Structure 1
Amino acid sequence: MSDAVRVGFIGLGDQGAPMAIAIAKKFDLHVWARRAVSYDGLRGARHMKENDPVELAGKVDVLCLCLRGDSDLHDLLSDPSLLPALGKGGTVVSHATGDPAEAEGFERMTEEQGVHFLDAPVSGGRPGAEARSMTCFVGGRTDALDRTRPVIECHSKHIVAMGAAGSGQMAKLCNNALTVSNMRNVVEVFAMADKLGVSLAGLRDAFAHSSGGSFILQTLGTRVTVGNAAHIAELNRVDVDEFAEAMRRKGVDPTAIQEWATKGPDALEALVQRLQ
């Protein structure tokens, strides 16, 4: 793949816009958005607006999507003209988090048209996209990943091939479950320390330089604030439920992790307030 490869992007939201900006630094970028205001997120990055998804697909080799979830992807791919417009050998790269089983179905749908599909959810949020330091969990054909890797590298520092289609989504769900489980560890330990009069801010600072440190601990008071803690807690509960549902569909019992992790977000807002 060379810099001449044409890349399409749909999903210019809070996370998608900085990802698209990063891609535009190296590749010809074609974009489409349902709302005109969405283009404002590109902040002057070089791009070409297309009139609709089919027109966009007809002008690119790689179609990157950062949609809200599987239902939006279903709506997009259900247009019978879209995949033929992308053409045989083209690749759809879906960066949204979704159901592993759905990803398997999307691959079957696209391969019937000679188009490759990668489920490639990312971790890092908007800060990671802006810093171009995201982690991308990829499921799908190795040759398709090899061809699209230079595009994904624009915004993701770590790109990990997880296996067949669906495995990228499963890896992301496991990542989410582990993150929220670690949150429960933090809130439980800090609650006990607080009862004993130990400085919580002091603990956080000390743990940042010791074996008790963790990513989730680093976010408290920085990415997770008093203003957004309640919203993040709700998203974390959704993450745990999605993980549990996906595991059960695959015949794996997630009860122990689900019961432990679910209560972590309940105390998140109070802990952030105490730290400040």
Structure 2
Amino acid sequence: MSTPRAGFIGLGSMGAPIARRLARSGFAVIGCDNSPEMLAAFDEPGTETTSDPIETAGKSELLGICVRTDDQLESVAGDGRLFEALGQGGTVILHSTVSPELAQKLAAKAREYGVGFVDVGVSGGGPAAIEGQLSLYVGAEPEDLERARPWLEAIGKNLAHLGPVGRGQEGKLLNNLISIANYGMSAAIVDIGVDMGFDRQQLIDAFMAGSAQSFALRVGPGMVLPREGTGATGSIRGLHDLLKKDVDHCRELEVRETTQLAGLLASCDVMLARLRRAAAEAEGKPAPADRSATVDAYFAAVRAKDIDAWMALFAEDATYALPNGQVFEGKAAIREFQTMVFGSGSPFPNPGGRFVGSEGIAAEIEAQLPDGSVRHTTNHYRFDDEGKIRSLTVYMRG
């Protein structure tokens, strides 16, 4: 039997270990990356390297792709030249975590060139990849899966064929959704305990000995700790951006269980906010304001008719839009209008439901007007990177 020729595009923290595992499992591997540092680090004996994806595809029967973002994947494969170079009968194995729709689009493009396409989300990290112990979430047609099976069996211990292309991405996104939500809850509970005066590590050890024990509790709180060395701060921001990419894809999942999805996304947003805070602290900057606390302060200032406290919550270039179509831009214009509102006997707000998402916070309000009537509105707050209100839009409810 001839040695299978395997190209691999993207030699990052997951791609390089997968490519190494394939080489150690008997594949003739050509590794490809646009970073000279990544290429130099890929020093597995018996492998080739190149910075040219088209050259990589031309030398391959099976072609793995593990780039970071949707845009990168579109750039590498979107025009079809990569599939053309791979040639009829070749198979692409996608290990990037991207939108399911993009995976389906590229699979259709690959078919135009007689190329099979297998969508494979991976879970377990680099060490598991080196040991061939990854968990695999696979979307593929059966015949494409069979062509890719030697590759998948080399790198994985658990293979779940979830359906056609796109289902692998969806399975991986759901896996990441629960993982990131659990990281957020674990980091939050430790922060709360420290705020109450507990020793951080002692509290984690105590939790790990009881019913709260979990992988997320073991690793999540550590993700937000200060780091040292070159690029340490960037590594926190890099982790934030990597997790945010997957969380944003999860926001687009088409589900009927919207309440359940919203709950998981809220926990994910806690983790993302905590990473932003950790990165700011590492850079010596003030921690971003707690957005929910900012909304609480907003209502407190309205009730007190304290214009200075109220204005302190807004960014300099903030906008304030009312249900009647009026829009005030900049703090000076907002202050002038709100001073008039406070002076005329502003509504007394009673906050109701609050919904936290990537686009900010929406708060339902029942406001008692000076004439005794009641008005129902929803305030939608968006924030800048420092946690200041960047825009406030008020909507009328029936």
| TM-score bucket (shorter structure) | 0.7 to 0.9
Per-residue CA deviation, residues 186-222 of structure 1 (Å, 9 max, x unaligned), is: 2343344445554442342244344321111121466
Deviation at 1:127, TM superposition (A): 3.8
Q: How many residues align?
A: 268
Between structure 1 and structure 2, the one with the greater Rg is 2
* More contact order relative to length (CA 8 Å, sep ≥ 6): 1
Per-residue CA deviation, residues 126-177 of structure 1 (Å, 9 max, x unaligned), is: 3433444322211111332232122133333332212111011111111121
Rounded Cα–Cα distance in structure 2 between residues aligned with 1:133 and 1:145: 19
Letter of the 2:251 counterpart: A
Structure with greater strand percent: 2
Rounded Cα–Cα distance in structure 1 between residues aligned with 2:79 and 2:191: 52
Rounded Cα–Cα distance in structure 1 between residues aligned with 2:116 and 2:172: 20
What SS does structure 1 have at the residue aligned with 2:154? coil
Rounded Cα–Cα distance in structure 2 between residues aligned with 1:72 and 1:151: 23
What SS does structure 1 have at the residue aligned with 2:205? helix
Rounded Cα–Cα distance in structure 2 between residues aligned with 1:155 and 1:189: 35
Q: Does 1:261 align with 2:260?
A: no
Stretch of structure 1 that moved more, 38-47 or 49-58: 49-58
Aligned pairs for 1:1-276 (under 5 A) are 4-25=3-24, 26-49=26-49, 52-194=52-194, 197-220=197-220, 225-227=225-227, 228-229=235-236, 231-245=238-252, 247-248=253-254, 253=258, 254-267=261-274
Cα distance, 1:163–1:263 mapped onto 2, change above 3 Å: same
Per-residue CA deviation, residues 53-93 of structure 1 (Å, 9 max, x unaligned), is: 33322322100011122222222224544323322221101
8 Å CA contact 1:18–1:42 kept in 2: the answer is no
Letter of the 1:178 counterpart: I
Stretch of structure 1 that moved more, 233-242 or 63-72: 233-242
Per-residue CA deviation, residues 224-258 of structure 1 (Å, 9 max, x unaligned), is: 6422555534543443222112x14x676333322
Rounded Cα–Cα distance in structure 2 between residues aligned with 1:191 and 1:210: 18
Structure with greater helix percent: 1
TM-score (normalizing by structure 2): 0.59
Structure 2 gaps, min length 5: 228-234, 282-398
Letter of the 2:7 counterpart: G
Letter of the 2:265 counterpart: Q
- Counterpart in the other structure of 2:363: none
Task: Give identity over the alignment, percent.
Answer: 31
Structure 1 gaps, min length 5: none
RMSD: 2.9
